[in-house]
Amino acid sequence: MNPYTFAKVQEAYFSRSQYEPVKPYESGDSLFQWPGNRYLSGLERDMPLLQESLSSPPEDQAYPATLADQVFGHQKRENRISVKRLLNLVYERSRLHHGHLKDIDHRLMDCHSLLSIARMLSPMEAGREEMNLEKLIVALEKDRRKEELGFWKDSRDIREELFEHTGEYGATVRRAKMLSGLEGEDA
């Protein structure tokens, strides 16, 4: 019998690792259960928003007290959820961008140090290894610029949509306040 089960190996790995095991999202609804292959791990920050969007309001808020809440409450709630979701998208893309830049910068630093060592060892002649390292440095710098431009392009559309939804949310809140102000004058 094999004494090393998957659970024991995984426990041993994470006890010595700097990384923590990914824990599934806890929810009573089977729709929100995470599969074991981490396929939906990118949605972890959006799951509470998705759950809030799919759920009905709490029972104490089922019948809002004011007319403004009855008219604009659902729209205000949905706009707030949309704004938070877009902020999560910007956060996730930014996190991915910084990870890519960190990796590229690390590889660039390694190539520069190797090139420096190669130049110290043979200062008079430019060897094939030096030329390959210089080509690799140029390629990594090109990748870095490409990542910067890609991040700007990806986040531009999300930022524009974020500002649109923020404007809609602000307009809904103002309309609700105006309506609640009219209710207060009539009472």
Q: Kindly report, residue by residue over 74-99, the tens digit of the pLDDT.
A: 788 888 888 888 888 888 888 899 99
The verdict on 159 and 85 lying in the same domain is: yes
Q: What is the mean pLDDT of residues 120-144?
A: 86
- Tokens linked to 155: 């986040």
- Please indicate, yes or no, whether residues 177 and 85 belong to a single structural domain of this protein: yes
| 94-122: average pLDDT | 90
In a domain, 72, yes or no: yes
Give 103's pLDDT tier (boundaries 50, 70, 90). very high
**Mean pLDDT taken over the chain:** 76
pLDDT of residue 71 exceeding 50, the answer is: yes
Q: Pick the more confident residue, 131 or 65.
A: 131
Indicate whether 109 and 151 sit together in one domain: yes
Say whether both 147 and 90 belong to one domain.
Answer: yes
In whole angstroms, what is the distance from residue 127 CA to residue 133 CA? 10
Any idea which of 16-20, 28-32, 38-42, 69-73 has the lowest mean pLDDT? 28-32
Domain assignment of residue 8, given as a range:
1-44
Residues 187 and 181: their CA atoms lie apart, in Å, by: 10
Residues in the chain: 187
Q: What percent of the chain has pLDDT over 70?
A: 60
- The Cα 163–Cα 129 span in angstroms is 50
Residue 49 inside a domain? The answer is no
Instruction: For residues 93 and 159, give the distance between their C-alpha atoms in angstroms, rounded to a whole number.
Output: 11
**Residue 148 included in any domain:** yes
Asked if residue 38 and residue 79 are part of one domain, the reply reads no
The count of domains in the chain is 2
**90 and 179 assigned to the same domain:** yes
User: Which is higher by pLDDT, 143 or 117?
Assistant: 143
The answer to whether residues 22 and 112 belong to one domain is no
The answer to whether residue 51 is domain-embedded is no
pLDDT for position 1: 45
Q: How far is CA 93 from CA 42, 147, 150, 151, 183, in A?
A: 10, 11, 10, 7, 44
* pLDDT at res. 140: 94
6 and 38 together in one domain? yes
User: Which pLDDT value is given to residue 3?
Assistant: 57
Look up residue 91 and give its two tokens: 């956060």
The token pair at 76 is: 């205000």
